[in-house]
Amino acid sequence: MANYDYDIGIIGGGAAGLTVASGAAQLGAKTLLIEKEPALGGDCLHYGCVPSKTLIRSAHVYHEMKHADRFGLPKVDLPPVDFTHIARRIQDVIAVIQKHDSEERFCKLGAKVAFGTVFFKNDHTVDLDGRAITAKTWVIATGSSAAAPPIPGLKEIDYITNREIFSLDQLPGSMIVLGAGPIGIEMAQAFNRLGASVTVVDQATQILGKEDPDMAEAVQAVMESEGVKFYLGAAVDRAFAAGEKKSVALKLGDGASVVLTADAVLVALGRSINVEDLWLDAAGVAFDRTGITVDARLRTNRKHIFAAGDVSGGYQFTHAAGYEGGIVISNAVFHLPRKVDYTWMPWCTYTDPELASIGLNERAAKDAGLDYSVWTEAFQDNDRGLAEGQTEGRIKLILDKKEKPLGVQILGPRAGDLIAEWVAALNGGVKLSTMASAIHPYPTLGEISKRVTGSVFSPKIFSEKVQKGLKFFFNLKGRACTPEVCEDKSLMSEG
């Protein structure tokens, strides 16, 4: 048996890599975690989830202050935003979380952390800054980066991505966002609320292309009401400098041409997997531009090499990466053949209102050829939503022909938190009748889940058949008032 330096080696210190390193080390495996950046945490902590949600919160507060009169408060004349203060706050939040992802913490757990450039020499050996290191099992968790599409002139205009946007020296007066996916849409709304003039461009005819059109269109309507402009169904022809500003030439769907000019151009046109310079061919690991090829146990074609997180080409969410890290631990450390199951994978786009999903949406159910029904409840009928002035959106419950849940979408205030009830219910196999009869505190936004499940049963419980049965067995006398009686009384009072 070969004598390897480590039981398990992990390349990449993001969500997936940290999960594997923490679990493997605490289970007694001699563990090495390698990260090319100067700090652990990955894209999520430094350039993604954490800074974006911190920025979004600042933008939300500023937006609410500007519209204080909506809540019966004095109208406030606010000074312009100093973006350096927001950038500083973002770094402060990152610094606090960084303590949980520090080299010292992982050393205490038993994992060795090494920083540097790494590439495979063979399927058990890597080169780390000139040193050969071997491991019995390797895990590739190198994540993804913002893709740079081959748009003529783009490289010459000094565009920004998610890596630069959270540390800008000042708030751009205007911004063009290329891409109407979650990153582009979240940043477009946030920077618009902070005072930038924002235009979103995408070749697709719908923003948030994976979502149901009605839900995505509702998000777009809110953003348009706040001043964000959209060019959808538009192809980017070229980019070029216009003095100190940047310009983007578009070809519209009707054949017309438009040139947009702004202080900044944010590129949010998808992600590319981080495999460059890893020399995966030397390890014999199969991959393509969409990701490293893995089976349901997250093993590559080299069964002792695993891949997890964005680099494996699946769901590009931090929580998905963490989940996949757990699957790797089961297979690589416990040697239990545990497989991934994404049936109830939740996600959320943190616009205002938020758009959260779990399971199949209506579009996916239709594409799958399923027989389904849709049940909805609007936030404008939710008392807490009315009290807080947040009435945009609704919940959509998708049921199969046997009235079992296929999925849930929530467009509304704190939808990312509200979907958690469905995460627990769907993963736990909780019956809809149980959810409909559960007691929720009043008034809360969470009541909307109880209301929509209740609407499934109401037609059955209060049907004419049930009324006739109760009348027969218990001699009930029927209605005490009818619409006609109410109308007659109204006419009499008017007379």
Tens of pLDDT, residue by residue over 124-140, are: 999 999 999 999 999 99
148 band by pLDDT with thresholds 50, 70 and 90: confident
Whether 290 and 266 map to the same domain: the answer is no
Q: Number of structural domains, the chain?
A: 3
Question: In this predicted model, what pLDDT tens digit does every residue of 71-85 receive, in sequence order?
Answer: 999 999 999 999 999
Asked if 356 and 306 sit in the same domain, the reply is no
Mean pLDDT, the chain, whole residue set: 96
CA atoms of 185 and 207, how far apart (whole Å): 8
Residue 258 dihedral angles phi and psi, to the nearest 5°? -140, 140
Give per-residue pLDDT as tens, 346-370: 999 999 999 999 999 999 999 999 9
Query: Which of 226, 252, 270 is where one domain is finished?
Result: 270
For residues 342 and 350, the answer to whether their CB atoms sit within 8 Å is no
Residue 149: is its pLDDT beyond 70?
yes
My answer on whether 328 and 360 are in the same domain is no
The pTM for the full model equals: 0.94
pLDDT at residue 495 tops 60: no
pLDDT tens per residue, range 17-46: 999 999 999 999 999 999 999 999 999 999
Q: How confident is the model at residue 220 (pLDDT cuts 50, 70, 90)?
A: very high
Specify the CATH number for the domain of residue 365: 3.30.390.30
Q: Average pLDDT, stretch 226-247?
A: 96
Beta strands in 50-150 (DSSP E): 111-115, 118-120, 125-128, 131-140, 144-146
455 Cβ contact list (under 8 Å, min separation 6): 375, 377
The confidence score (pLDDT) of residue 482 equals: 85
Q: Residue 490 above 90 pLDDT?
A: no
Which ranges constitute the DSSP H helices of 299-412?
318-332, 362-367, 383-387
Q: Please tell me whether the peptide bond between 405 and the residue prior to it is cis, using omega within 30 degrees of 0.
A: no
Share of the chain above pLDDT 90, in %: 94
Domain match, 362 and 405 both: yes
Pure H helices in 13-81: 15-26, 42-47, 49-66
Domain assignment present for residue 88? The answer is no
Contact between 245 and 262 (Cβ < 8 Å): yes
Beta bridge partners of 144: 273
Q: Is the pLDDT of residue 492 over 60?
A: no
Tell me, yes or no, whether 354 and 286 share the same domain: no
Give domain status of residue 47, yes or no: no
Residue finishing a domain among 270, 291, 319? 270
For 110-124, the pLDDT digits (tens) are: 999 999 999 999 999
User: For residue 91, is it within any domain?
Assistant: no
Using one digit for the tens of pLDDT, what is the confidence trace for 387-396?
A: 999 999 999 9
Q: Which residues form the domain of 436?
A: 346-461
If one compares 481 and 297, the residue with the highest pLDDT of the two is 297
Statement: residue 486 has pLDDT above 80 = no
Place of tokens 């939503």: 385
Tell me: do 266 and 276 sit in the same domain: no
Band the pLDDT of 2: cuts 50, 70, 90: confident
Q: Does residue 52 lie within any of the structural domains?
A: no
- Residues 211 and 118 reside in one and the same domain: no
Which is nearest to 139 in space by CA: 19, 315, 277? 19
Q: Tell whether the model's pLDDT for residue 489 goes beyond 70.
A: no
Domain CATH number, residue 216: 3.50.50.60
In a domain, 60, yes or no: no
Over residues 298-309, mean pLDDT? 98
Alpha helices in 99-156 (DSSP H): 103-109
The reply to whether 18 and 108 lie within a common domain is yes
Beta-bridged to residue 272, according to DSSP, are: 145
Domain annotation covers residue 33: yes
Examine the domain organization and report whether 313 and 368 are in the same domain. no
pLDDT at 405: 97
Residues 262 and 277 in one domain: no
Do 172 and 125 reside in the same domain of the chain? no
Please list the residues that pair with 239 across neighbouring strands.
248
Average pLDDT value for residue range 389-404: 97
Structural domain contains residue 489? no
pLDDT at 209 over 70: yes
Same domain for 167 and 230: yes
492 occurs within a structural domain: no
Q: What is the pLDDT of residue 483?
A: 80
